A and B are shown apart, each in its own frame.
Chain A
């Protein structure tokens, strides 16, 4: 009986190791093994061509040593955070002065992610508590927006209002997104999620952090990355504009002259 059981364990271990799914050799007597994540993206490089009108990127992964009985059991929670390159921005607020709406106050922030999407199996507050979300930077509430030097100090309430405005505007531009119920399990260990990158997606290096939770506790995390760059004519134009601005400017003028002259010639004949 004992012999049969150890044989069974040996075979299982062998199968798991051969499949590359086992993180460590199970020590006899331990029933529960720690979960580990393997994640990847459907592409690691996106080249923005002239016909670019946004793209979908699939984030997929597997929970090793999954203990969940079925895909629909809700045993695990997964949160995916995709961040774009950081940039410094200034937020301005209009006030009514003498009947006119004018920019009255402003606040500058540094290291603001140009893109920030959080996808999860459930609403974030059901996945983990505030402290945990804050620790791992998951969700708008946990997004650290660091103010830059300001000539006039702002109160906490003002900071909160500006911070909220940054998130709201980015949401309208489709660059910030929180999407609960958008990560789904397929079977007991595989999960997948689709992120929409809109046509105005900023170029640069993106990181995708994937977190595995169970009853509010982080079990495992993994990271992958994607680079968004310009390709084709777009890249040529962009490089020209930034590397040789004077030449680019004169070329633009010359091109416009040619256009005007050509149109004139065509229309005179017609």
Chain B
């Protein structure tokens, strides 16, 4: 069944979009990542203009993270205090991101910058997670208890001022690292159209030593606020939010997310991390391939950007 999207200005098959929303929603519920790093490239792949894909992806992520965060909340997996620090960082990061986009657009290399950023971040995060989770799985098989909180590996984090107690996460650390992690998330949300979960989740696990289950809920909590800010921003600067497309994605996404949360309960934390690492590495590899292989078409067309807005 074809449906015409008024902002994207193309006609798409409603079931394709529903399926995409459900698949990404499932992964989002499973891993606690927003799924933006998957939905945006997928939308572009089926012919949605890039600006619309990024903006609508952000809009859809709100619904997915609201329902995901609520499900986590009921299980006591949201650290509101830690989440609040992340949100403050996230909002400031979004503002910096907007300014950064303007500079990059003027230089005409925004696409390359975003692609390289993706490859470096996804590659680094994916590799670290993979090595760690495989190690943890091996240990589990040998019968040793999984040691998530190894002492002496986060010395510099403990040396920082502004220490706060985050009860739910069972940590007593400086507010600066979570603020910075939130800031990075916000920066990515406004520049790449992602929630930033894929970078915040591993940083919180490995740097802050927050328990994996709390990380998932808390990052979803932060993503709600950052994607809301990004949606309003994209709607006012580019008129690029397609609510019809967003609704279809949401219907698929919320269902998928609920199923994902349930599936996540059945998997062990290190297995979950290994799977997420695989996914992240796969997307990274795909993007790298696009950068190095000879393109089918060397030329591309775009609208002329003046004063930061598309004509």
Contacts and interface: CB of A to CB of B under 8 A. Distances in A.
Chain A bound to chain B: yes
Interface of A: 48-54, 87-96, 99-103, 106, 108, 148, 162, 165-166, 168-170, 172, 199-200, 202-203, 230, 233-235, 237-238, 241-242, 245-246, 248-253, 255-257, 259-264, 267-268
B231 A252 contact: yes
B304 interface: yes
Given A89-B303, A93-B298, A255 B243 contact: yes
Interface in B258-302: 258, 290-295, 297-302
A88 B62 contact: no
Contacts of B301: 89-92, 166, 169-170
Contacts of B311: 87-88
For the complex of A and B, the 5 pairs showing the least CB-CB separation, nearest first, are A260-B66, A249-B235, A199-B11, A263-B254, A165-B299
Contacts of B233: 249
Interface string B232-260: 11111001011110110011001101100
A255 B244 CA distance: 11
B160 interface: no
A196 to B, nearest CB: 13
- Grouping DSSP codes into helix (H, G, I), strand (E, B) and loop, the B interface class, with mixed when no group exceeds half, is helix
Chain B CB count within 10 A is highest, among A165, A235, A255, for A255
Contacts of B131: none
A30 B118 CA distance: 77
Contact of A53 (B2, B9, B255): B2
B235 A248 contact: yes
Nearest to B302: A90
Contacts, number: 192
Contact of B112 (A90, A102, A253): A102
Nearest to B262: A267
A200 B9 contact: yes
Contacts of A52: 2, 4, 11
B11 A99 contact: no
B299 A108 contact: no
Contacts of A251: 243
B247 to A, nearest CB: 7
B7 A241 contact: yes
A150 to B, nearest CB: 12
A103 B111 contact: yes
A166 B109 CA distance: 20
Interface residues of B, number: 59
A162 B299 contact: yes
Contact of A91 (B244, B292, B300): B300
A264 B291 contact: no
B298 A263 contact: no
Nearest to A95: B298
B108 interface: yes
A252 B228 CA distance: 9
Nearest to B293: A101
A88 B231 CA distance: 27
B34 to A, nearest CB: 12
A47 B240 CA distance: 21
Given A91-B299, A249-B235, 16 more contacts: A87-B303, A89-B303, A92-B299, A94-B298, A94-B300, A96-B294, A100-B112, A101-B298, A148-B304, A234-B6, A237-B243, A241-B235, A246-B235, A249-B232, A252-B246, A264-B66
Given A169-B297, A260-B64, A53 B4 contact: yes
B63 interface: yes
A218 to B, nearest CB: 32
A267 B109 CA distance: 44
14 contacts: A48-B6, A51-B4, A89-B303, A91-B300, A100-B112, A101-B293, A199-B2, A234-B244, A249-B231, A252-B231, A252-B241, A253-B228, A257-B66, A263-B258
Contacts of A93: 298-299
A60 to B, nearest CB: 26
A98 B257 CA distance: 41
Contacts of B298: 93-95, 101, 165
Contacts of A264: 66-67, 70-71, 254, 258
A169 B299 contact: yes
A238 B8 CA distance: 10
Contact of A90 (B111, B232, B236, B303): B303
Contacts of B67: 259-261, 263-264, 267
A106 B9 contact: no
Contacts of B244: 50, 233-234, 237
A157 B241 CA distance: 39
Contacts of B242: 237
